[in-house]
Chains A and B, each alone.
Chain A
Amino acid sequence: MMELLSARLVPNEVSKWKALMQELLIELLSEEIPARLQRRAAEDFKNGMIAGFSEAGLTFDRAEVNYTPRRLVLVVHGLSEQSLSVTEERKGPHTDAPEQAIEGFLRAVGVDRDHLEVRETKKGTTLFAVVKRPGRPAQEIVAEVLENVIRKFPWPKSMLWGEGKLRWVRPLRRLLCILSENNLAQVVPFEIDGLVAGNMTEGHRFMAPEVFTVNCFMDYVQKLRQAKVEIRADVRSEKIWKHASELALNAGLVVLKDNFLLEEVTGLVEWPVVLMGDIAKEYLALPHEILQTSMKEHQKFFSVLNPTSKRIEKLIIVANRETADCGKTIRLGNQRVLSARLADAKFFWENDSKIAKQGMHTWLEMLKKVTFHNQLGSQYERVERLVSSAALFASVIPNCEVDRVIQSARVSKVDLNSDTVGEFPELQGIMGGYFATQAGYHLTVSDAAKNHYKPLGPSDEIPHQPISIAVALADKLDTLTGFWAIKKKPTGSKDPFALRRSALGVIRIILENELRIPLSFLVNFFFVQHYFRLMNDVKAGELEAINVALIEWHDLPLTIRKIKESEQAELAAALQKIKQVVLQNTENLLDFFYERLKVFLRTQNIRHDIIDACVSMSHADDLTLLVHRIRALSTLLQTDDGENLIQGFKRANNILTQAEACDGVPYSELPDVTLAEQTSEHLLFSSLERVAKEMDIALQNEDFTLAVQSIGALREPINAFFENVMVNVDQSAIRENRLRLLNRVRCICLKIADLTCVES
């Protein structure tokens, strides 16, 4: 085969003296870049340029990137004046290859016969094309790479403007691109779609819009600071946080930290000016979540807390300019806008409170008209499913009163019809909690209404109170099984219903509360609800009867048998009809849970093969138990004993598997200690005896740590056995007995986990 594509590059000479180094400065000035895209864009810009330079053989010391709402700024220090000259070699056909093959090779490489060399290789006499490529000046490469980076920039969404054909996130307005040496700048000759690179930039859009020239990075940074632009995002961010904290502190208050908001406002200003404003008195009594959400989502204000009253009493505005009146107009304007918003919010909140105090019946009724998903019915039907699962959860979660779960399920979604949630959808649940309290429900019920959507992300809190746990699990399992049943599983990067998040939520709620729950049965239960609805031919009374039976037997096939025995043939037949699809889907969804569990445990440095080894054991759907097993095994495998034991196990397993395959019989009978000949053999016999006992007791007590420790004691005897004892000896009785002994080793090890899955 001709290796046309794998060129080998060889630097021709290494400079004995340090070549003249220059500094490259590029600024891409555009109209305002969305705040959420800036950081990533800056990184992409830098990485794109660096990759281009290394590919072209242009070396440098280090590169740094900065950004503002209007600028992406790259500085590269210690850039060589030219790229390394290289010799490119490509391996071609053998010398005795047909003429066409050689011609083809020459065409592909783009050289003539003079550049061919004949070399001896292991595979015979071979032609090589050798092309010397001299170093090229840096500015030529910079222009080339820059053009490539701009044209292929990975913006998530880009646009055209005017009559041009260039795409950028917003119109690109100015290019600065200079190479400087000792403060002498030279503009890199570069043009893209009519935009010509220069050595000029402009200051703050309002405070210093004048254009000025720049001769190096230091000069650029300083002149821009004079022109009221701070190009370093971390400096802007620190300044904002420091000033905000100081303003609050001076008033005896505290700013609520919000890193996401801080990054966003940092991306909205080139020259941050921090101002503290007031919230009008009449709004201070609103729930703090309403205040905070109005201020953050709509106005991008930070909330300022009074630690004594525990209320949010002031706000922090981050403006983009200094003014002659020290921000007074800006502060008053912002306060006015907030007041208008809060006037709406207060109106909604007071109206909603009235409905809540009357018991929220109208809202529950209205849920019939709120679609959850067109194939999965209304929110009302969804609530009905949560209600029917209440008894099931009460039976598996300690201290979980079924009546309270039912009440919670009924009120869990009513806030979707409140005006407050209509205005602030992100407050769903939180408002539900308030309304449930106003309606006079027990504290546990309002806690469930408030927290059942949790956790909303990998670092969000999980519910801890039994009633809340029940509703939170029911809510997520109903969602997961529902979308599974209508074949809307997540694929690749597409997960429109956030099912991965739901699954992770279930996992975390179970693990962090140490719940002992048969997950596969819960999943079964919800699939049954969905399939009966999707099939559309079961009456409400029948489904109720089925649910009672399911909850009693905790097992689908068993439930069908029991219903048959009770001579309710129709019910049994209805269940029988969906049994197969439910069980299949459950298995499939359980695998999804295990995949999510792997991702979750990866952050705790637990290997996926260890998880695989434990998932294949029985009762793996009891996630708490499963994770105990996984952690115990993981701990063992971090020790030398553990690694050795695995090797011993694999060796035993290999010998045994080969023998079984070869002889065509299993060696599953117990070995006979009287046939043991050597000390090591006796030692293994006695160790196995002891370990087996210890382990059985430990496993009965679900004490995996102890079980794993006891199996660790097998390491020495197994090693000694393999060192001193031949298994495949001529006397067949002895050989057979030794294979049985290995089988015993294998069986005991497999009680811990399927160690064949573990990679050594």
Chain B
Amino acid sequence: MLNSTSIPRSFQEIMLRLQFYWASKGCAILQSYDLEVGAGTFHPATTLRALGSKPWSVAYVQACRRPTDGRYGENPNRLQHYYQFQVFIKPNPADLQDLYLDSLAAIGINSDLHDIRFVEDDWESPTLGAWGLGWEVWCDGMEISQFTYFQQVGGHDCHPISGELTYGLERLAMYILNVDHVMNMPFNDPNAPVALTYGDVFRQPEEEYSRFNFNMANTDLLYRHFKEAEAECINLLNVDPIDQETGRRIIMVHPAYDQCIKASHIFNLLDSRGVISVTERQDFISRVRSMAKKCADAFLQIEERL
């Protein structure tokens, strides 16, 4: 199945080959973070680990939620839940571009026949207080990945610099597998005893979540949850770092950062419910950013002590 000279036959084979490829380049293969995130960048293995000086090298599939992109499972390309494959290495290897191009070969994109291009795309995340420079990578005019050198996270300059690669898995797989509608894409081997398409797995939830995201999510509840997450985040970082139980100094950066992730997703839901005005939007974004920044500050504090 991992014979990389052949064209993959299913969505999962592309994920598996990418994991295998990056494992062979030394990355630790993590799993999707267990909270709703808007992009693989939110995974603490990227956001927090971009900070400080310790080397880092991971790859993982991340399930992502973008409530406003729901189309009831009908649009051939848009989904409110989809997967990204994320590679994150600090410091970025000097040959990261070449490593990336080899990964394309591993999933069946032969650069002898395709036109692959690095097109300027500066990345900025106002909610994470982060930015980087890099490109979107085009294959025959289609954006298949984001390639970013992280410059700042949570308002802190990064040093050393990390390289981040993000593959939009559905789009990439549809291209490689030559299918026109995401729901028709084979999820596992089409010759398997129970062959499943992407639609078999996700059409129903896409429809349900589209209704939920656009019309049914309880906005009063969401406003409240946002405030609670924000309060919890700040509280966790403000309490006495000395743990009563063990007597050790334990700053709870990850639990606090979870609250930041939750607030960010709640904000996205409120947005897709269409109840956020333009001025409110700025306010929400700056509140999430301020949480992210506090988490970043705390993370760096811990590293300094070590």
Contacts and interface: CB of A to CB of B under 8 A. Distances in A.
Interface of A: 31-32, 34-36, 69, 157, 159-163, 169-171, 173, 206, 268, 299-301, 317, 319-321, 323-325, 329-330, 332-334, 336-338, 340, 343-344, 369, 371, 374
Given A320-B117, A333-B175, A374 B279 contact: yes
Interface stretch (B24-32, B132-140, B211-219): B132-140
Nearest to A295: B141
Contact of B149 (A69, A159, A173): A159
A333 B142 contact: yes
Given A157-B122, A171-B149, A337-B142, A330 B91 contact: no
A159 to B, nearest CB: 4
Given A159-B161, A369-B277, 16 more contacts: A32-B119, A69-B118, A160-B161, A162-B91, A163-B159, A171-B94, A171-B149, A206-B111, A320-B115, A320-B117, A323-B112, A330-B140, A332-B140, A334-B140, A336-B140, A337-B140
B227 interface: no
B306 interface: no
B160 A163 contact: yes
Contacts, number: 104
Interface in B58-82: 75-77
Interface residues of B, number: 39
A31 B75 CA distance: 36
Contacts of B111: 206
8 contacts: A31-B118, A32-B120, A159-B161, A162-B160, A162-B161, A320-B117, A329-B114, A334-B141
Interface string B120-160: 10100000000011110001111000000101000000111
Most buried by B among A34, A300, A338: A34
Given A162-B91, A162-B161, A329 B135 contact: no
B193 to A, nearest CB: 32
A374 B283 CA distance: 13
Contacts of B140: 329-330, 332-334, 336-337
A299 B141 contact: yes
A378 B180 CA distance: 40
A556 B6 CA distance: 80
Interface of B: 75-77, 91-94, 97, 111-120, 122, 132-135, 139-142, 149, 151, 158-161, 163, 175, 180, 277-279
A206 B109 CA distance: 13
Contacts of A299: 141
A157 B133 contact: yes
Nearest to A300: B141
Contact of A161 (B113, B117, B161): B161
B144 to A, nearest CB: 10
B113 A329 contact: yes
Nearest to B140: A333
Contacts of A35: 119-120
A160 B50 CA distance: 14
A371 B114 contact: no
B133 A159 contact: yes
Contact of B113 (A157, A317, A324): A324
A324 B110 CA distance: 12
B185 to A, nearest CB: 14
B99 to A, nearest CB: 13
B120 A34 contact: yes
B113 A32 contact: no
Most buried by B among A69, A162, A325: A162
A162 B94 contact: yes
A333 B159 contact: no
Contacts of B93: 162
B277 A330 contact: no
A580 to B, nearest CB: 30
A371 to B, nearest CB: 4
Contacts of A301: 141
Contacts of A173: 94
A332 B180 CA distance: 13
The list of the 8 closest CB pairs from A to B, nearest first, reads: A333-B140, A34-B120, A32-B118, A334-B141, A371-B278, A319-B115, A163-B160, A337-B142
Contacts of B278: 371, 374
B149 A161 contact: yes
Nearest to A173: B94
Contact of A159 (B112, B116, B151, B180): B151
B273 to A, nearest CB: 13
A323 B92 contact: no
Contacts of B117: 32, 268, 320
B142 A371 contact: no
Contact of B141 (A31, A159, A333): A333
Contacts of B120: 32, 34-36
Contacts of B159: 160, 163
A330 B92 contact: no
A329 B91 CA distance: 36
B281 to A, nearest CB: 10
Most buried by A among B75, B111, B118: B118
A351 to B, nearest CB: 13
A69 B97 CA distance: 15
Contacts of A300: 141
A32 B134 CA distance: 9
B100 to A, nearest CB: 11
A371 B76 contact: no
B76 A343 contact: yes
Nearest to B281: A371
B5 to A, nearest CB: 17
A330 B113 contact: yes
A324 B116 CA distance: 15
A268 B119 contact: yes
Nearest to A329: B113
A425 B195 CA distance: 42
A344 B175 CA distance: 17
A320 B141 CA distance: 11
A32 B278 CA distance: 36
A337 B141 contact: yes
B76 A333 contact: no
A171 B94 CA distance: 9
Contacts of B119: 32, 35, 268
Contacts of A170: 133-134, 149
